[in-house]
Amino acid sequence: MIDIIIIGAGTAGLTAAIYARRAGRTAVIFEAHAYGGQIINTPEIENYPGIANISGFEFATALYNQATALGAEVKMERVVAVSDNGAAKLVRTDKGEYECKAVILATGAKNRPLGLENEKALVGKGVSYCATCDGMFFRKKTVAVAGGGNTAIEDAAFLSNYCEKVYVIHRRDAFRADAKEVDRLKGRENVEFVLNKNVTGLIEDNGRLCGVEVTDKFSGEKTVIDVAGLFVAIGQAPDNTPFANVAALDDGGYIKAAEDCKTGTDGVFTAGDCRTKTVRQLTTAASDGAVAALAACGYIDSL
Ligand code: NAP
């Protein structure tokens, strides 16, 4: 029987695997997409203690290599259900069933869509949720970024390096993003802030995005901005519904757990952005991974 199954190979999950292996426990990580989680799309990380500057891809790859070199196994399978049979937990994936003593849910969160009528149809045809993945398709073109958090500001800075013009469309005039980064972006000549406005429509031409309709929050006035691309960066939403039988969820769908990373089910722990918390950073994901793994090891010792 596997000691610890970790669901999700992002920063929290990979850190949990490092701690589990160093504690002498077998650890298998299940990942549905690719290792690294959200950070893999961040061009530059400058706020991880001890590392002044690193790309998200380099960071995630180093973490992955560290975990696997220590003996953690990564299986590219989507977990569809977890059931609690007391001392044994059953983890069902799209490829098989696995038994383990403890589970760590480190499922992260996914990009939140704007929810506009033709948004889905325009993905890959002008609408994107990942500037580092798709930005190069918009070289020398005009694009917009929707959002006012760190992701939106980072995306806009990245795109302004090679797009002709970048609009930052935000529904308020205050930002969640770090003030230093907002100020740095404001200094760029090809960046224009469109504030107190919501993106309310996606305008298309021959099945491709050609503009966005924005509506002023106060006056209700609608205007159209011609853009070839729209990068939606309005935060994330978790997807923990398959695990609601073993971990209570809050109103936003995040797993209810405090700093000890314990869910209401013995032997089921959670770590990272999928957990109810106020600060979702690389540092807090890594911290959760360590806490959850050590808690899982303590639980196994007590069996
Ligand atoms: P976020 O911080 O939650 O920001 C989301 C932004 O989108 C907010 O400005 C929000 O507006 C706006 N928004 C939300 N729903 C909207 C809607 N329906 N329509 C229009 N606008 C909407 O998300 P994030 O930027 O993706 O960041 C997520 C977490 O990762 C944060 O903790 C962030 O600090 C962290 N992160 C850190 C780094 C870094 O440190 N290098 C990089 C990227 C992300 P309001 O402000 O009005 O709510």
| 129 shares its domain with 211 | yes
Cβ of 22 closer than 6 Å to ligand 1, yes or no, is: no
Ligand 1 centre to CA of 90 (Å) is 35
The whole-number pLDDT of residue 261 equals 98
| 154 shares its domain with 100 | no
Angle at 46 between CA 34 and CA 230, to 5 degrees: 60
pLDDT digits (tens, 9 = 90+) for 25-37: 999 999 999 999 9
Please name the residue whose Cα sits nearest to atom 31 of ligand 1: 280
Last residue of a domain, one of 232, 267, 283: 232
The whole-number pLDDT of residue 198 equals 98
In a domain, 142, yes or no: yes
Last residue of a domain, one of 232, 264, 283: 232
CA distance 262 to 255: 10
| 176 shares its domain with 205 | yes
Please name the residue whose Cα sits nearest to atom 3 of ligand 1: 235
CB 14 within 8 A of CB 67: yes
Beta-bridged to residue 209, according to DSSP, are 204
pLDDT digits (tens, 9 = 90+) for 188-202: 999 999 999 999 999
Q: What is the mean pLDDT of the chain?
A: 96
| 97 shares its domain with 240 | yes
| 181 shares its domain with 42 | no
pLDDT band at 44 (very low <50, low <70, confident <90, very high): confident
**Domain span at 56:** 2-110+236-302
Calculate mean pLDDT across residues 83-96: 96
| 214 shares its domain with 163 | yes
What CATH number has the domain bearing residue 126? 3.50.50.60
Query: For ligand 1, what atom is nearest to the CA of residue 115?
Result: 18
In a domain, 115, yes or no: no
Last residue of a domain, one of 188, 205, 232: 232
Query: For ligand 1, what atom is nearest to the CA of residue 279?
Result: 32
| 82 shares its domain with 126 | no
In a domain, 15, yes or no: yes
| 147 shares its domain with 98 | no
Whole-number Cα distances in Å, 180 to 46, 131, 183, 194: 12, 20, 5, 19
As annotated, the active-site residues are: 130, 133-134
The whole-number pLDDT of residue 282 equals 94
The whole-number pLDDT of residue 78 equals 97
Cβ of 11 closer than 6 Å to ligand 1, yes or no, is: no
pLDDT digits (tens, 9 = 90+) for 190-247: 999 999 999 999 999 999 999 999 999 999 999 999 999 999 999 989 989 999 999 9
The whole-number pLDDT of residue 47 equals 87
pLDDT band at 11 (very low <50, low <70, confident <90, very high): very high
| 165 shares its domain with 227 | yes
Cβ of 42 closer than 6 Å to ligand 1, yes or no, is: yes
Total number of domains constituting the chain = 2
Please name the residue whose Cα sits nearest to atom 13 of ligand 1: 234
The whole-number pLDDT of residue 40 equals 87
